[in-house]
Structure 1
Amino acid sequence: MSKRKKTVDPGVRSTELRDQIRKHEHAYYVLDRPEVTDAEFDALFLELRRVEDEHPELVTPDSPTQRVGGEASEQFAKVRHRSPMLSLQNAFDEAEIRGFDRRVHEGVGDKVTYCAELKIDGLAISLTYEKGRLKRAATRGDGTVGEDVTANLRTIRSVPLSITPVAGLPDVFEVRGEVYFPIAAFEKLNHEMEAAGKPRYVNPRNTAAGSVRQIDPKVTGSRDLQTFMYMLDPAGPCRSQWEVLRTLEKMGFRVNKHRRRLASIDEVIEYHGEWQRRRHELEHEIDGIVVKVDKFDQQLELGFVARSPRWAIAFKYTPEQAETVVEQIDCYVGRTGVLTPVAHVKPIRNITMHNEAQVNEKGVYVGARVVIHRAGDVIPEIVSVVKPKEGWRMPTKCPVCGGEVVREEPYIAHRCINPFC
């Protein structure tokens, strides 16, 4: 007698699959500790999609299949934040950060602990959750009113569509943080742009901002963006910034692992110096550290000035820039025949300019004084020209074989048409 195949209830199975996929997404995108292979994850995802296709009544708003984004939008609606997204005052040297410390102690006395976090060079965002589910996502905007980018931010895997409940939090609350472009993902995108004959993006920060504001959410989802969250509003049971970060972690959000609680301004200065030396080890760009008085009762006592808190400050790093002179502009020929202009500068090494349009857009010429920027381990780039002028032209003959060089519309790149070059 043959055994009858056991029937699995689709409602039960869809719930099981959603729970498993969320668990694996959190392990991969938040903890950086994948527990299954890509093939195993894809199999779970495809099974869930099949169950939901066959039983559309089982689809939930926070299902992993709903990350892909909705219809393209021609514009973003304006949304008002629950409380202003404030900007921070800056300190650029030891004297200024010690001045901040002095003002803090004058306001709240001697016992002060600081919470220090790396300052991610990204785009500030606010996520609103209602009864545990992502309700809305917005950009900072002017600090009071931002843009509704919910459909786009839903496609970022480290943004939870539903969260682990925390006792003491109201039904509606906001989580704030940064969305950013990991350096490796940014370089990968630029390689893809070059291969397609399109201009490269300038830097990870601006590209992250542009990716979040794409009209089509699917474009945002293809960009490998990441997030770090650092604020909970209201803070619920938390009594300090340190507790907020630990709570966000427990809720399933990605929180910067290099945060530190510090007992003095001397320790703050040491932390700042440590990460100035180690910043090239990170998978993202930073432009300083953020220092906050840790205890909320002390923050309340210190208050605000204009649109900035008195209890927090950004301790910035000196930009990695230098001024030099362009000595020569040569062209190198790639394996596909594409000609790439390269500016020779002193004392920094050669700098790729990508195409003729970029050379002239920035006004680079032999003898020009230029400002060079180097962030992390990214190849140096020319940020600006002191006295720009146009007129540089790509050679009409290949510098390698002497063959004809052409530019085919709509591509920006010039190419040697000799198939043997």
Structure 2
Amino acid sequence: MMQPQPSARIRELRALLNRYNYEYHVEDAPSVSDAVYDGLFSELKQLEAEHPELVTSDSITQRVGNELKEGFVKVTHSTRMLSLNDVFDVEEVRAWVVRMDKLLPGSKHEFFADIKMDGLACALIYQDGVLVQAVTRGDSFAGEDVTNNVRTIKNVPLRLYETAGFEKLLQGRTEIRGEIVMLKKDFEALNKKRRQNGEPEFANPRNLAAGTIRQLDPRLVAARPLHFRGYDLLRDDPSDVPTNMFAYEALTALGISRNREASVFTSIDDAMKFVDHVGKIRGELPFNTDGLVIKVNDRAQFAQLGVVGKQPRAAVAYKYAAEQATTIVKDIVISIGRTGAATPVAVFDPVVVAGTTVQHASLHNADEIARKDVRIGDTVVIFKAGDIIPQVESVVTELRPKTAEKFEYEKALQEQYPELDFERTGKDVVYRVKGASGDLILKRAVQYYASKGALDIDTLGEKNVVALVDAGLVRDVADIYKLTYEDVIRLDRFADLSARKLILAIADKKQPPLEKFVLGLGIRHVGAQTAIDLANKFQSVDALKTATIEQLEQVDGIGKVVAESIVAWCADEDNLALLDKFTELGVVPYYEQKTGRLSGKSFVVTGTLTSMSRDEAADRIRALGGTFQTSVGKDTTYLVAGGKVGASKLKKAESYGTKIIDEKTLHELLK
């Protein structure tokens, strides 16, 4: 019997494996075992290795690409990726329908409803059925090209599936929009493995999915179980997709996973019954959700109703009432935000609310504390606004300890920030740092983030920071990563070369060492060594921002004051939004354990060094695994005595048995 030609066999294997993928990922009804699939896949890989001229970009063997060296490229969306207005009860939904009826009098609406997924929005672009590009939502107008990484997601077809009746969608440009999610079972399995390995757990599936898809190395992305679920389909000719339900039917026909619960209803009452049903079962869904999307089904009516701002009139996002839990307030600490505003934060025993563990909540301002009469020691009811931000709803006064005292806001400000003055002017409900405008604080924050001790961003010095902030190009620290050559070249301070150098220098620091990134955030009381200790303990930003005061106090050198400062910073809504923005802009700090011959050794430098600055000495010591301290303690190994050393420090070192060395000996240790 004659063996088939390699080209024919390759075509047959690709077609069969694509069908098996469709059955597995779309129909959830595989017809063969994993072993059969793996055997055929291995055969295809072998044939392609023997005949590289027959390899095509849409072959399922070609999922993992090469590591990106220059970061992600911005891409403008064909049409804006809009967000939706939130509604929270049936009356708001009915009011939405009334508004549409006024704009389209006499028109009847069908309502399309689907479960809203908590993931990273992404657009897949297919040309003649072949995946050519994947773009994140970004700022809704433009996102980042993450094609290299999305190709590694196993349920994303590299070539759309051919189904009778949908052939037209395989011709020309077809854009599929959806969410990249990590399913709950995969997230739990990943965290279980990390616990077994003694690694810090990831905070939640959404942040992990977003952070993963922005890794520069697609091999790292391929190692994590991401999943794509489509929710929209766009064509250059809108008549190709007459209804939202047709779009969903087309997604299935083309091999794209989507939510099978999505349905069409002829009345808003029936749609709301569906909302109630999903509310009862949402804990059993494979992914996290905080609500549903309800749209006008007819796409022509949808377009006719238009857009207000960045929200379409023909769709709303129904958000479920937040889950509640009770816990005890252990402390109230105050965080200073990027505008100088002092925000109180309740710190409490960890409690699970809406599927995630929370341990602090913003109390907003002094008036809010007084209105709710929140006191340290109180039992409080916690809920999540929009299932995202934890807040204190009320106090269970019946359980209040007799020793609980009213919280005196101004006294707490003086105790926690003795070196600062605060003021509250006019009708402002917020106390702010006196004599410091928001712009001034922002300029200092950006300068500190870019400073040599932190991220060391070349050319982003004081004068350039001032120019960028004054021009409105930088409104928070993360905005530096949005800067383009075209933005910068318009400013008087920059010529062609200096503008290019600045953009390249910023891009070069998109993957900073974790300890440098933590230091650059400017968290109160967190210096260089503390940032290193925090990085060594928690090994990721997600783990750090969910750390408890008890966990923080386990880190050498961190006491209650520093721990509370870190918790307060991580509870501030502006700071959390800033961290999310860093992630969205592709800033991915990495952790690397520093080991070397100075591991376990600690140094203090006193006096003047002639061959290097104290900061340079600290960096070189840390690079070899050593610890750099600011003052001599019982655990100090070496006191490096430069010029003009005070006798008291030498005496203190001698009393602790610390070895005193000169600059020459330090050089020997650093070689």
TM-score bracket for this pair, using the shorter chain length = 0.7 to 0.9
List alignment gaps of at least 5 residues for structure 1.
328-342, 375-380, 397-408, 412-421
Secondary structure of 2:115 counterpart = strand
Q: Kindly provide the amino acid, as one letter, of the partner of residue 117 in structure 1.
A: D
Q: How far apart in 1 are the matches of 2:383 and 2:45?
A: 46
User: The residue matched to 1:186 in structure 2 has which SS?
Assistant: helix
Counting only pairs closer than 5 Å after superposition, residues 232-251 of structure 1 correspond to structure 2 as: 232-234=233-235, 235-251=238-254
Q: 1:195 Cα deviation (Å)?
A: 2.1
1:263 aligns with 2:266: yes
Partner Cα separation in structure 2 for residue 172 and residue 247 of structure 1: 14
Residue pair 2:109, 2:296 contacting (<8 A) in 1 also: yes
Corresponding residue of 1:43: 39
Q: 1:18 aligns with which of 14, 18, 29?
A: 14
1:127 pairs with 2:147 = no
Q: Which residue of 2 aligns with 1:205?
A: 206
- 1:312 pairs, out of 312, 315, 318, with 315
Q: SS at 1:143's partner residue?
A: coil
**Cα pair 1:372 1:382 within 8 Å, conserved:** no
Corresponding position of 1:230: 231
Rounded to whole Å, the distance in 1 between the matches of 2:42 and 2:380 is 52
* Aligned length, in residue pairs: 364
Q: CA 1:6–1:56 in 2, change beyond 3 Å: closer, same or farther? A: same
Equivalent residue for 2:53, pick from 46, 53, 57: 57
Which structure dedicates a bigger proportion of its chain to strand? 1
The offset of 1:261, in angstroms, is 0.5
User: Is residue 368–residue 385 contact of structure 1 (8 Å, CA) maintained in 2?
Assistant: no
Structure 1 residue 161 corresponds to structure 2 residue 158 = yes
Partners of 2:146 and 2:293 lie apart in 1 by: 26
Return closer, same or farther for 1:368/1:80 CA change in 2, 3 Å cut-off: farther
Going by fraction, where is helix more abundant, 1 or 2?
A: 2
The answer to whether the Cα contact below 8 Å between 1:128 and 1:134 also exists between their aligned partners in 2 is: yes
Matched, 1:84 2:80: yes
Q: Distance in 2 between matches of 1:370 and 1:121?
A: 27
Contact map agreement 2:349 2:359 (CA 8 A) in 1: no
- Contact 1:370–1:383 (CA under 8 A) maintained in structure 2: no
Q: Distance in 1 between matches of 2:293 and 2:356?
A: 33
Work out whether residues 328 and 380 of structure 2, in 8 Å CA contact, stay in contact via their aligned partners in 1. Answer: yes
The answer to whether the 8 Å contact 1:107/1:301 transfers is no
Task: Kindly indicate whether structure 1 or structure 2 has the higher relative contact order, using CA contacts under 8 Å at least 6 residues apart.
Answer: 1
TM-score (structure 2 length as normaliser): 0.50
Tell me which structure has the larger Cα radius of gyration: 2
Task: Give distance in 2, aligned partners of 1:286 and 1:220.
Answer: 23
Residue 292 of structure 1, CA deviation: 0.5
TM superposition shift of 1:389: 8.5
1:46–1:168 Cα change, 3 Å? closer
Q: Is the 8 A contact 1:325 1:345 kept in 2?
A: no
Identify the residue that residue 416 of structure 1 maps to in structure 2: none
Whether contact under 8 Å (1:326, 1:345) holds in the other structure is no
Please show how residues 7-406 of structure 1 align to structure 2 within 5 Å: 7-108=3-104, 109-164=106-161, 166-169=166-169, 171-234=172-235, 235-325=238-328, 390=549, 393=553
Question: Is the partner of 2:240 in helix, strand or coil?
Answer: coil
Cα shift at 1:237: 2.3
Q: Bigger shift: 110-119 or 5-14?
A: 5-14
Structure-1 separation of matches of 2:243 and 2:132:
26
Aligned twin of 1:402: none
Asked if the contact 2:64–2:218 (Cα under 8 Å) also holds between the matched residues in 1, the reply is yes
Q: How far apart, CA to CA, are the structure 2 residues paired with 1:73 and 1:197?
A: 31
Amino acid in the other structure paired with 1:16: E
Shift of 1:183: 0.3
CA distance in structure 2 between the partners assigned to 1:154 and 1:88 by the alignment: 28
Distance 1:389 1:26, change over 3 A: closer
- Amino acid of the residue matched to residue 9 of structure 1? Q
How far apart, in 2, do the equivalents of 1:194 and 1:367 lie? Answer: 32
> Where does residue 406 of structure 1 map in the other structure?
none
Q: Which amino acid aligns with 1:183?
A: K
Aligned match of 2:484: none
Query: Once the 2 structures are TM-superposed, how far is the Cα of residue 84 of structure 1 from its aligned partner?
Result: 0.6
Q: Aligned equivalents of 1:228 and 1:244: distance in 2?
A: 13
Work out whether residues 243 and 299 of structure 2, in 8 Å CA contact, stay in contact via their aligned partners in 1.
yes
C-alpha distance in structure 1 between counterparts of 2:40 and 2:324, whole Å? 48
TM-score with structure 1 length normalisation?
A: 0.78
1:371 and 1:383 in contact (8 A); partners too: no
Output the amino acid matched with 2:39: A
Q: Which runs of 5+ in 2 are unaligned?
A: 331-347, 363-375, 394-411, 413-546, 557-591, 595-671
Whether the 8 Å contact between 1:373 and 1:383 is mirrored in structure 2 is yes
> Who is 1:400 aligned against?
none
8 A Cα contact 2:82 2:310, kept in partner: yes
Cα distance, 1:49–1:236 mapped onto 2, change above 3 Å: farther
Amino acid at match of 2:188: E
